[in-house]
Amino acid sequence: MTLARCPGNDAPVGRSSDPSLTAGALLDGRFHLRREIASGAMGSVWEAVDTTGRAESPVVAPGTIVALKLLRAELHSEPAIRRRFRREASILQSISHPAIVRILDVGTDASERSYTVMELLHGETLEARLARDGRLAPAALAPMLTAICAGLAAVHAHGVIHGDLKPSNVFLVAGEGAASAGVKIVDFGLSKVEGLERLTRTGELTGTPAYMAPELLTGAGELDARIDQYALGVVLHQALAGRLPFVLSKHPGALMFDVVMGKGEPLAVAAPDVPEAVRAVVARAMAPKRDDRYEDVLALARAFAEAA
């Protein structure tokens, strides 16, 4: 689930895709729901006014306009999903970085609905930018990648892997320019804390296959931060070429085979106008064997900036 572009002062309109929520309602005796700004399988994100704030938190004053992420009502009885939802909030609360979406508070209402209070972002996702512009030049991508990698490095330093990086989970904040504050990584719902659990379980595939590193699909070896680097390589290919390196219309098994075997469309074919040095950086980030990738995401960012 991602934060969609939304104006900050619009009046409440429409109804939520979750019938238990309506614009104008008061949630948990505290949050006045204004409008739904995103919806997904796990729940919804609302623009809301925090009418009371939180006394022990100076960043949540009464009247603060926030983004309220709510777990879908029918998922309350799913312990694994509730754990995943709460884990995202706990991870982000422990990490303070300008490129990571800021968590202001967490809670559970009287009906046991879990929610997370986040800073309200204005702008658009990288997915929306690509849908509008088609492709981005290496020079335009370089500062975005530097900001993303700086945020990921902070996350990785806490032993956390995002696990589902893709254009819809990169938010471009309006008016912030190329500084790290202009990019926010969102949706840590599939994140993995190193040494505690795997992102995949037998018979279950979580994440978006086209962005998943081969080792995620094969289950070979312990997962590490290089799965995020691989996903960034796919994002870079998509942004530079205007399309993914893998054919999504294929049977899922065939798609996963192509990922594992590194049979994606080469950037030289998809975007021959992209400089060779840039193509080489992307190819290394997307190397099927993780030992062939960069040592960390900061090294990837440096290499891309130099090539671009």
190 pLDDT tier (thresholds 50, 70, 90): low
The pair of three-digit structure tokens given for residue 142, joined into one six-digit string = 């370089």
CATH of the domain at 152: 1.10.510.10
Residues 61 and 83 in one domain: yes
Number of other residues whose CB lies within 10 A of the CB of residue 5: 15
Reply yes or no on whether the pLDDT at 151 is more than 80: yes
Taking only Cα atoms into account, the Rg of the chain, rounded to an integer number of angstroms, comes to 20
Reply yes or no on whether the pLDDT at 192 is more than 70: no
In a domain, 239, yes or no: yes
Active-site position among 18, 164, 187, 258:
164
In the prediction, which pLDDT does 70 show? 87
For residue 133, indicate whether it is catalytic.
no
At 180 the three-state DSSP class reads: helix
In the prediction, which pLDDT does 96 show? 86
In a domain, 200, yes or no: yes
In a domain, 2, yes or no: no
In a domain, 8, yes or no: no
Residues 112 and 128 in one domain: no
Nearest to 188 by CA among 202, 199, 201, 178: 199
Q: Tell me what the mean pLDDT of segment 18-41 comes to.
A: 84
In the prediction, which pLDDT does 83 show? 75
At 200 the three-state DSSP class reads: coil
Question: Which range is least confidently modeled, 59-73, 143-157, 176-190, 294-308?
Answer: 176-190
pLDDT per position as a tens digit, 61-112: 778 899 998 887 777 777 777 777 777 777 778 888 999 988 888 888 887 7
Nearest to 148 by CA among 92, 100, 207: 100
HSE-up of residue 13 (Cα within 13 Å, Cβ side): 6
Place of tokens 């080469």: 266
Phi, psi of 307 (to 5 degrees): -70, -35
In the prediction, which pLDDT does 88 show? 72
Pairwise pLDDT comparison (175 vs 278), residue with the higher score = 278
| Alpha carbon distance 22, 73 (integer Å) | 13
Give the pTM: 0.80
